[in-house]
Structure 1
Amino acid sequence: MREKNITSYALFKKGFSKATYYSIQKGNSISTNTVNQLCSLLHCSVSDVIEYIEDDPS
């Protein structure tokens, strides 16, 4: 969002759910539909939105 200079308010105006936005901020999991919606709104690829981090094996 910083790279695109898009605020959370702008996402909300485009129809992105506030509840989903705040859930993501808290680190909760999201659906592929949500990733698709973010990519569409931000005009970016999936790798710009999510990153794979391996779980700690311990």
Structure 2
Amino acid sequence: MIDYSPFWDTLEKSTENWYTLTNKYHLSHSTLHRLKHNQNISTRTINDLCRILDCQVEDVMQYIPSDTDQPL
């Protein structure tokens, strides 16, 4: 499972917030909702978040093994 909790920590440490992400950088509310609920987002969005927050991918997401992952 991909977990986006590192994103929220990174966002808290940055000068950006939910408001600036949506109004200044035009990220949709649904994208932030998806992040909050560990739902799928595009790699383009991950790229944008890394650029906005000046961070690395691991500052936005992490992989956590889970029994609920789809079978391979």
- TM bucket by the smaller chain? 0.7 to 0.9
**Which residue number corresponds to residue 46 of structure 1?**
57
Runs of 4+ more than 2 Å apart: none
Unaligned runs of 5+ in 1: none
User: Which structure is higher in strand share?
Assistant: 2
- What count of residue pairs does the alignment treat as equivalent? 57
Q: CA shift at 1:51, angstroms? A: 0.6
RMSD between aligned residues: 1.5
For normalisation by structure 1, the TM-score amounts to 0.83
List per-residue Cα deviations over 1:5-56 (Å, max 9, x = no partner). 3210010121111111112112211111111011111111101001110122
For normalisation by structure 2, the TM-score amounts to 0.69
- Counterpart of 2:19 (choices 4, 9, 28) is 9
